[in-house]
Amino acid sequence: MDTSNTASSPAARKPYGMLALFDSAPAIYEAARTVREAGYSRWDALTPFPVHGLDGAMGLGRSRVPVFVFIGGVIGFFVGMWLAWWMGYYNYPLIVGGKPYFSPIFPFPIAYELTILLAAFGALGGMFVCNRLPMHNHPVFNYENFRSLTDDKFAVVIEAEDPLFDAEGTRTFLEELGPLEVTALYDEEDDA
């Protein structure tokens, strides 16, 4: 098992965490379940494709994006209704054939379209907020075999900010999971 370090001078850089590399979806699933059961809270699983049930093994809840979509839709509906009301009463009040200045029936297509539009914007914005995007660089990108994580390998990364993180203890814990290798990650790429 390779426990080499990606840094030439690890004491000079701030540690980001530990990465354990696995070669199959069942292995990453079991590793994620074990890490969650051990009580780690700041960690992630990296896979080249979606692994069915991995979010459950990690203990993740539902996404918060639907909340953003709902809020965007409600705002869109009320903006559409308010726009028709404001134009009918204040901007250009015109009585045509004895009809009222405002009725919720006539502006419904406008309100519906704004509901769809702002719900879509809510989905996009919610995805950016929930995924903490844009993230132009991440310490995992500095891992020397990062390309394999987007092809055929899987990884568990436990962050150094986790309350249970201890460099040697976490390394030993990850080695007991049977990975291909365990590597320390650092915040910045070595310039030398």
Q: What is the pTM of this model?
A: 0.74
Per-state percent for the chain, helix, strand, coil, to nearest 5: 45, 15, 40
Domain ranges of the chain: 10-61+137-186, 65-130
pLDDT surpasses 80 at 9: no
pLDDT at residue 106, as a whole number:
85
Q: How confident is the model at residue 132 (pLDDT cuts 50, 70, 90)?
A: confident
pLDDT surpasses 60 at 154: yes
pLDDT at residue 192, as a whole number:
44
User: Which of these ranges, 36-40, 73-77, 96-100, has the smallest mean pLDDT?
Assistant: 96-100
Phi, psi dihedrals of residue 146, rounded to the nearest 5°: -60, -35
Q: Within 45-152, where are the H helices?
A: 54-58, 65-86, 108-130, 146-149
